[in-house]
Amino acid sequence: MTATHDPAPAAGSAGAGSAIAEDAWDRAVAAIANAEEVALACHVSPDGDALGSMLALGLALRAAGRRVVASFGDRRFAVPRLLRFLPGQHLLVEPADYPAAPQLMITFDVSTTERLGLLADSARAAAELVVLDHHASNTGATGFGTLRLVDPSAAATTVLTEQLIARLGLPVDRDIAACLYTGLVTDTGSFRYSSTTPAVHAMAGRLIATGLRTDEIARELWERSPFGYLKVLAAALDRVVLDQDAAEGHGLVWTYVTRADRAAAGLPYEEVEGVIDVVRRADEADVAVVLKEDDDGAWQVSARSKGAIDVGRACTALGGGGHARAAGFISHASPEDIVEKLRPVLKPM
C-alpha cells in the first residue's frame, strides 16, 4: 500500500507559512547579535519543553562565546529530578541572581507573565523581551513581550528554538540536541499526539543524527520513579471519581493528591506529574483532571482532553492556560469546590 498524503499543512514545521513573520525572526536574530548578555527564562515548575528550549539556546550561545544567564522563577529553585539529566545546567542561576533589568530577555514556553514567577519583574524591566512560545492561549490580546515569536501550530517550543538556533547560524551538537529532543518528545507524548507531523519526525531525525541516545532519554523521562510514587499513585487511584454526566455528557474522571499523601511516602511535589497519565486512560471520560496539592497548600490542577472538550478554554476561564487538550490552573478552594467550578466551563471544542 502506498502512503496516503496528508493534505493538511505540516503543523509544527514552523517554516514557511508558520504563524511567525520573517521580520520577527530577523529582529530576534539582530537583538541577540547586539546584546552584551542574553538573559533566558522559562516557566515555573519547568517541564521538558520549557527547560529543554532554554538550555538548548543557552548552550548554543555559550558555545559561540556569548554571555548567557538562565533561570526560572520558582521560590524553591530546583531542577525537577526527571530533568536533571539535561545538559547545560551550569548556565542556571537562582532567581535572586538574575538580572533585574536585562538588556535582552528571552522567555521559553511561557504563556503568561504569571508563569514567570519571581522573574516577572525582570521581564517587565527588560529593554527587549522576546517571547518564544507555542501556547494557543498566548494570544495577541493578552500577549506580553516586545517581540513575540508565538506559533500555536508548533508541536513544542523546542521546534521554534531549533529554528532560532538555525537562523543564528549556530551548530546543534549532541548536548543541544538532547535538550531539543526532550522538549519534542515530551510535548508530543512520545510522538503519540496529533501534533506529531512529518516535520516533527524530521526534526527528531536531525537531532538523532548528532549521536543522541534516545533510549537513555526515554528511560530518564518515563521508566523510573522513587518507590514512594507507587504508594501515592495508589492513594490517588483509590479516590478516583467517574462523573459521566459532566462535560456535556462526554464524561469527567478526576482525583487528587494531597500534601499528606506525599509526605507519608516522602515524595516531592514534582514526582506526581505522571498521575494524570494513568487517570486519563479511563475510556468513559473525555476529560481527566488531577488536583495536586503543592508544598504551599495550593491546588495545581491538570486537565486533559481526548478531543471532544476544550480544556484550554476551560482552564483559561479559571485563571490558568494551556492547550485545547492539555491545560491547567491553580486554586485555593477545596478539591470538590474546584471541580464544581470546572464543570460548567467544560465545553466542546
Toward Mn ion, which CB reaches closer, 151 or 187? 187
Binding mask 104-133 for Mn ion (x = CB under 5 A): -----x------------------------
Antiparallel, parallel or unpaired: β 287-293 and 252-257: parallel
**Do the Cβ atoms of 69 and 103 come closer than 8 Å?**
no
**Which positions from 259 through 278 interact with Mn ion, judged by CB under 5 A?**
none
Question: Contacting Mn ion (CB under 5 A), which of 12, 48, 49, 126?
Answer: 49
Toward Mn ion, which CB reaches closer, 74 or 187? 187
Element (H, E) at 293: strand 287-293
Q: At what angle do helices 157-167 and 198-208 cross, to 10 degrees?
A: 60
Question: What minimum distance in Å lies between the beta carbon of 78 and Mn ion?
Answer: 20
Binding residues with Mn ion: total (CB under 5 A) = 4
Residue 37 is placed in which grid cell?
Answer: 548578555
Coil, strand, or helix at residue 64?
A: coil
Q: Which residue is nearest to Mn ion (CB)?
A: 49
171: left (phi over 0), alpha (psi -120 to 50) or beta: beta
220 near Mn ion, judged by CB under 5 A: no
Question: What minimum distance in Å lies between the beta carbon of 228 and Mn ion?
Answer: 28
286 near Mn ion, judged by CB under 5 A: no
151 near Mn ion, judged by CB under 5 A: no
Toward Mn ion, which CB reaches closer, 109 or 293? 109
Q: In what order do the strands lie in the sheet with 37-42?
A: 67-72, 37-42, 104-108, 128-133, 147-150
Toward Mn ion, which CB reaches closer, 328 or 335? 328
Question: What minimum distance in Å lies between the beta carbon of 204 and Mn ion?
Answer: 16
Q: What are phi and psi of 326, to 5 degrees?
A: -150, 120
DSSP 76-88: S----GGGTT-TT
Binding mask 174-213 for Mn ion (x = CB under 5 A): -------------x--------------------------
Interface residues with Mn ion (CB under 5 A)? 49, 109, 157, 187
